């Protein structure tokens, strides 16, 4: 069973894809409040212990992409 494009799984798959076009598209689809929550979560993923190295690398790529597009 595949997830719809509006599902949280699809959103995070794109945000953590390491593909700038998918990251920007997913982020741009969000309302401002949700964007703030997503950025805070990505920042926690990068800085907190307990995340897998690949998850941290994906979160860093997302933050780099999003910070570069401001």
Say if 41 falls within a structural domain: yes
**Domain extent for 22:** 8-68
Which residues in the chain land under pLDDT 70? 1-5, 69-70
Say if 37 falls within a structural domain: yes
**pLDDT score recorded for residue 1:** 36
Say if 22 falls within a structural domain: yes
Total structural domains within the chain: 1
Say if 42 falls within a structural domain: yes
Say if 32 falls within a structural domain: yes
**pLDDT score recorded for residue 59:** 98
Say if 3 falls within a structural domain: no
pTM flag (> 0.85): yes
Say if 47 falls within a structural domain: yes
Say if 1 falls within a structural domain: no
- Rounded CA-CA distance 4/51 in Å is 26
């Amino acid at each position: 069973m595949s997830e719809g494009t509006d599902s949280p799984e699809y959103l995070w798959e794109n945000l953590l894809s390491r593909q700038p076009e998918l990251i920007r598209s997913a982020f741009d689809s969000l309302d401002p409040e949700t964007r703030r929550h997503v950025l805070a979560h990505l920042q926690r993923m990068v800085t907190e212990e307990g995340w897998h190295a690949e998850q941290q690398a994906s979160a860093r790529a997302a933050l780099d992409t999003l910070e570069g597009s401001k």
